[in-house]
Structure 1
Amino acid sequence: MDHLIFEIGLAVALIAAGGFISAKLRFSVIPFYILIGMAVGPHAGQIWHLDFRFIESAPLIEFMGRIGVLFLLFYLGLEFSVGRLIKSGKSIAVGGTIYIAINFTLGLLFGWGAGFPLQETLIVAGITTISSSAIVAKVLVDLKRTANPETEMILGIIMFEDVFLAVYISILSGLVLSGSSTLGGVLLSALLSLGFMLVLLIVGRKAVPLLNKWLNVSSNELFALIIFALLFIIAGFSETIHVAEAIGALLVGLILAETEHVHRIERLIIPFRDFFGAIFFFSFGLTIDPLALGGALWYSLGAVVVTLIGNFVAGMLAGRSAGLSPKASSNIGLTIVSRGEFSIIVANLGKAGGLLPLIQPFAALYVLILAILGPLLTKESKHIYKLLNRIFKFEKRNRTDEKAALGDDPAG
């Protein structure tokens, strides 16, 4: 253990270098963290003929990455809250359902068409369905699109995805981690997971007045200890009943978002979310053999094409259901195409379940491509829409539909 502190310091310095480069290039930081992890991971010696490997610190870095997942999901829970999910409205529910249905179905078809077994197909569908909240939110802020008419739908779909993710990871946990191979076993595990989630949310909301009292302390040290105790105990207990620990963290965030101390909790959590979240992406990169990516190249490229098509179609339909213009609707699909932290979480679930090794490099390459393409497509969405509008005549069709709805259909 003589070099443990030095290795951790070196890892953090490399992560900081990746963040510095991404800031200079004004690009999403996630692919840089993953690429640096790949470049200095256990397989790096085969490429660079240098010993970059983090030998003593590897287990600790992996554990810190797990902590990063908890903080990422916990913070998302704080941002949305159960109340906000309920108040999101019918249009967001419809748009979110359209988005999930199209992308999840395409993910299942892609996994089946690629010849993956059932469990791997379910993992692939999860990887390709969920957008990166972190990348999407950053892009919206950077491009000053928070006031755009389609942004409410984009954020609503992201919230809808979080709910879907919670349910889907619960089901996957029962299938992949508990070893249930029968339909009855899967349903029992899923019901146990969903029951735990519902009970925790109901009890948590009832306990809000008590939580307000407990958290009404002036000491920042005591306040942090209470928050961290709630987070780690509930997330850890979730894991013991085969519910992903990340979902336990999300549920704690949703509950604490209802308290009067939510802004104080956010200020406390943000530095931990950023620090441990960066280590999470770096630790994921450490597990990837760059030489193995070639075997996943065509699978990843195929999944990227399917995702681009599915996102655009889903965005157009979701926007149409909410009465948005074709241009605003196209922005929805082009903005939420990025994949990141949640795809990696689902991929790690496959790794924990001992599924095909191909899943990890497939997810890594898929996330890298879309983490790079996503912000670019969002930035150039205006030009992309103009090009597609010349081909598919979205605006002409929209005007025709409006006339038909008013009883002034020229074909009538």
Structure 2
Amino acid sequence: MSVEIPILTDVVMIFGLSSAVIIASHRFRIPPVIGFLLTGVLAGPYGLGLVGAVDEVEIFAEIGVILLLFVIGMELSLAELQRLKKPVFVGGAAQVLLTIAVLELPFMIYGVGLGKAIFIGFLAALSSTAIVLKLLGEKAQLGAPHGRISLGMLIFQDVAVVPMMLLIPLLAGTADNPWQSLGELLLKAVLVGAVLLVAARKVIPRVLEAAIRTRSRELFLMTTLGLCFAIALLTSSVGLSLSLGAFLAGLIMSESEYSHSALEGVLPFRDVFTSIFFVSIGMLLDPAFVLAHLPQVLGLAGAVLVLKAFLAALAGRLLGYPWHVAILGGLCLCQIGEFSFVLAGVGMGNKLLSPVEYQYFLAVAILTMAVTPFLIAAVPAISTRLVKLMPPGLKAEPPKAEQEDLHDHLIIAGFGLGGHHLARAAKAAGINYVILEMNPDTVRRERDRGVPIMYGDASQAAVLEHINVTKARILAVVISDPAAIGRIVATARAQNPALHIVVRTRFVSEIEPLMQLGAQEVVAEEYETSVEMFIRVLSTYLVPRGDIERFVREIRAEGYGMLRRPVLNTADACNLGGVCSSFGATVLRVVPGAFVEGKSLIEARLRKEHGLTVVAVQRDGRTSLNPDPEWVFEAGDRVHVFGEQDLISEKAALFIGAEGDTWN
């Protein structure tokens, strides 16, 4: 006898329709988040009415929000907050407070109360972490200056959601004594924080370690999710929010050595439930309302996009970035974010939004999110145009001191990891060099250390003139902004036709355009990674080192062209009839109770009976090459064995003890 489960029908409908919409979205290069919102619009009560269990779907959506905040807490970590403290706490705070303050005024003039006006500012201040970080990551722009601006402000926004949710009852005036209520909330937050701090240091690590020791992925995942929901339930039970508990649980987990394993297990659940969250948001939108109020919706959406972009750019300027970079960061943050939907739902429950105002909010928020992918895709073109149109006074100022003594020098554009290593090598080789960097904090810090670094945009002719680009020998471009790289190459080539330009980029497809702009050498990360991969693979198969190096030289000589059609003559590379490919060297660790423990090399008969040759043994930090037959194995020895790979896998049992730990 079969029993029909109503919610199951709706779940099947949601997932089936989502799959179809996401396929269509992928075809038209629309982010999945927009596809989920459209799914909700189509399936909701205002659309085709395909889903009836709206309340149950909202429960799933609430789980999605909890998991989303939990993952954000794990990904942030206290160390990450410390590293990005200025972009986060200065830039992020400026962006949020400016948005709230500026939007508060017109609504108060319009007659809206102070609490409601501040709440509307809350809704507008948040941007979409899910959309922005995904798009910037795909386009390799997270390391660019505008990417750093966006990341810092998004982190602050995600953290600011928690106090915003706590303040909603106060803004709504539902508390009898607002200041007393706020004090009680803060006291509860402190007490819960103290309890969680003790648990984070004394209890949770032991619980996680106990789960890890079982080597059961299922148990570890259940323990991780159990801790997340338990802490969320704790905060909710004392009058705080579920979201706050989830975020705190994530921060606690981020300090654990098992956080990466936990994150890997939770991510699929987060993706599924947050997808349902976006579907549930789309279900709330009334398309008929949007069509009936289309001019107002478009006007509000346009105003939000322009105002948020400008205010975020202003916050970027406070961080010391030039106007055109700050504006690009503002364009990335001009949409309404996913957590605004959470705040709006809480605000509806506290009578801060009427049903009509809620529909306006939904329409404007979804429209701004839908526009964002196209704005970010246009960022390189917008950046180029802004540089041309900007008055000289608004562009990045050139270095203050002219470098008249610089000649035959190296110019390094960018001081990330690549620029740091290049500068270190130049210093060791006695090469005169100067660095241009767009991050003002990096410039101040490194200049105090005596590094010849200056603040400036290498794509501007005035900046290059001040560092004597006409007398330089080499320009090395090691930044992460593809659009800026092209401008730098073109500007430098126009000023010094004899300059040797070396560029680092991400993809092989970007090599040819940069060569046409004037770069002599372009190093693609994608290419170099693939070269390193095949070097290691062929080395493991014991292809002679000389043959590998010859192959690498051929690829480099052909300017990466061979990478797309690699042909390796295995007959030349390995003259052992292919036999060498079946051999390899492996390190095995002797664990207590192993067959070889306490036996000498001759007693273990590893070569005669098992086909394994011991070439070295590491013990107590010392390495013994070709140990003599009387060598006695001890637990903890790291044994380097050579033989056929299949045989090594089979004979690894000789080194297994009660713990089953073999591989180092």
Common fold by TM > 0.5: yes
Q: Secondary structure at the match of 2:131?
A: helix
Q: How does 1:18-167 map to 2 (within 5 A)?
A: 18-44=21-47, 52-55=49-52, 57-167=53-163
Paired with 1:296 and 1:128, the residues of 2 have a C-alpha distance of 20
CA RMSD of aligned residues (A): 2.9
- Match among 354, 357, 364 for residue 355 of structure 2: 357
Q: Report the CA distance shift for 1:305/1:186 in structure 2 as closer, same or farther (over 3 A).
A: farther
- Match among 208, 231, 236 for residue 233 of structure 2: 236
One-letter code of the match for 1:163? Answer: V
One-letter code of the match for 1:35? Answer: L
Cα contact 1:132–1:340 (8 A) shared by 2? yes
Farther off after superposition, 298-307 or 360-369: 298-307
Q: Deviations over 1:62-101 (max 9, x none)?
A: 1111111111111111110123213323354221122112
Paired with 1:53 and 1:190, the residues of 2 have a C-alpha distance of 41
1:410 aligns to what? none
2:407 aligns to what? none
Farther off after superposition, 210-219 or 63-72: 210-219
Q: Secondary structure at the match of 1:100?
A: helix
- Aligned pair count reads 396
Farther off after superposition, 72-81 or 301-310: 301-310
1:265 aligns to what? 262
TM-score (norm: length of structure 1): 0.85
Paired with 1:204 and 1:379, the residues of 2 have a C-alpha distance of 45
- As a proportion of its length, which structure holds more helix? 1
Paired with 2:246 and 2:69, the residues of 1 have a C-alpha distance of 6
Cα contact 1:102–1:310 (8 A) shared by 2? no
Deviation at 1:264, TM superposition (A): 0.7
2:190 aligns to what? 195
1:179 aligns to what? 174
Cα contact 1:30–1:340 (8 A) shared by 2? no
Q: Report the CA distance shift for 1:10/1:308 in structure 2 as closer, same or farther (over 3 A).
A: closer
One-letter code of the match for 2:331? Answer: L
Paired with 1:299 and 1:199, the residues of 2 have a C-alpha distance of 48
Alignment of 1:16 with 2:19, yes or no, is: yes
Q: Secondary structure at the match of 2:145?
A: coil
One-letter code of the match for 1:309? Answer: V
Q: Report the CA distance shift for 1:399/1:11 in structure 2 as closer, same or farther (over 3 A).
A: closer
Q: Secondary structure at the match of 1:216?
A: helix
Cα contact 1:38–1:286 (8 A) shared by 2? yes
Paired with 1:244 and 1:358, the residues of 2 have a C-alpha distance of 26
2:222 aligns to what? 225
2:209 aligns to what? 213
Q: Report the CA distance shift for 1:250/1:4 in structure 2 as closer, same or farther (over 3 A).
A: same
Cα contact 2:41–2:47 (8 A) shared by 1? yes
Q: Report the CA distance shift for 1:182/1:329 in structure 2 as closer, same or farther (over 3 A).
A: same
2:288 aligns to what? 291
Q: Secondary structure at the match of 2:212?
A: coil
One-letter code of the match for 2:8? Answer: I
Q: Report the CA distance shift for 1:292/1:181 in structure 2 as closer, same or farther (over 3 A).
A: farther
Deviation at 1:224, TM superposition (A): 1.7
Q: Report the CA distance shift for 1:67/1:88 in structure 2 as closer, same or farther (over 3 A).
A: same
Q: Report the CA distance shift for 1:235/1:43 in structure 2 as closer, same or farther (over 3 A).
A: same
1:48 aligns to what? none
Q: Report the CA distance shift for 1:92/1:289 in structure 2 as closer, same or farther (over 3 A).
A: closer
Farther off after superposition, 100-109 or 110-119: 110-119
Cα contact 2:305–2:335 (8 A) shared by 1? no
Deviation at 1:283, TM superposition (A): 1.3
One-letter code of the match for 1:266? Answer: L
Q: Report the CA distance shift for 1:136/1:80 in structure 2 as closer, same or farther (over 3 A).
A: same
Cα contact 2:324–2:386 (8 A) shared by 1? no
Q: Which has the larger radius of gyration?
A: 2
Deviation at 1:186, TM superposition (A): 4.4
TM-score (norm: length of structure 2): 0.55
Deviation at 1:114, TM superposition (A): 4.6
Q: Report the CA distance shift for 1:109/1:361 in structure 2 as closer, same or farther (over 3 A).
A: same
Cα contact 1:174–1:242 (8 A) shared by 2? no
Q: Which runs of 5+ in 2 are unaligned?
A: 402-453, 455-664
Deviation at 1:335, TM superposition (A): 1.2
One-letter code of the match for 1:291? Answer: A
One-letter code of the match for 2:311? Answer: A
Deviation at 1:185, TM superposition (A): 4.3
One-letter code of the match for 1:378? Answer: I
Cα contact 1:211–1:259 (8 A) shared by 2? no
Farther off after superposition, 92-101 or 70-79: 92-101
2:369 aligns to what? 371
Deviation at 1:310, TM superposition (A): 3.5
2:432 aligns to what? none
- Percent identity between the aligned chains? 25
Paired with 2:294 and 2:262, the residues of 1 have a C-alpha distance of 42
Paired with 2:122 and 2:292, the residues of 1 have a C-alpha distance of 21
Cα contact 2:91–2:153 (8 A) shared by 1? yes
Alignment of 1:339 with 2:336, yes or no, is: yes
Deviation at 1:329, TM superposition (A): 1.8
Q: How does 1:276-287 map to 2 (within 5 A)?
A: 276-287=273-284
Paired with 1:223 and 1:309, the residues of 2 have a C-alpha distance of 46
- As a proportion of its length, which structure holds more strand? 2
Deviation at 1:160, TM superposition (A): 1.2
More contact order relative to length (CA 8 Å, sep ≥ 6): 1
1:383 aligns to what? 381
Paired with 2:24 and 2:78, the residues of 1 have a C-alpha distance of 37
One-letter code of the match for 1:64? Answer: F
1:7 aligns to what? 10
Paired with 1:295 and 1:200, the residues of 2 have a C-alpha distance of 52
Deviation at 1:323, TM superposition (A): 3.4
1:253 aligns to what? 250
Q: Deviations over 1:268-306 (max 9, x none)?
A: 111111111111111122223322335765665454344
Cα contact 1:171–1:186 (8 A) shared by 2? no
Paired with 1:275 and 1:114, the residues of 2 have a C-alpha distance of 41
One-letter code of the match for 2:374? Answer: L
Q: Report the CA distance shift for 1:309/1:398 in structure 2 as closer, same or farther (over 3 A).
A: same
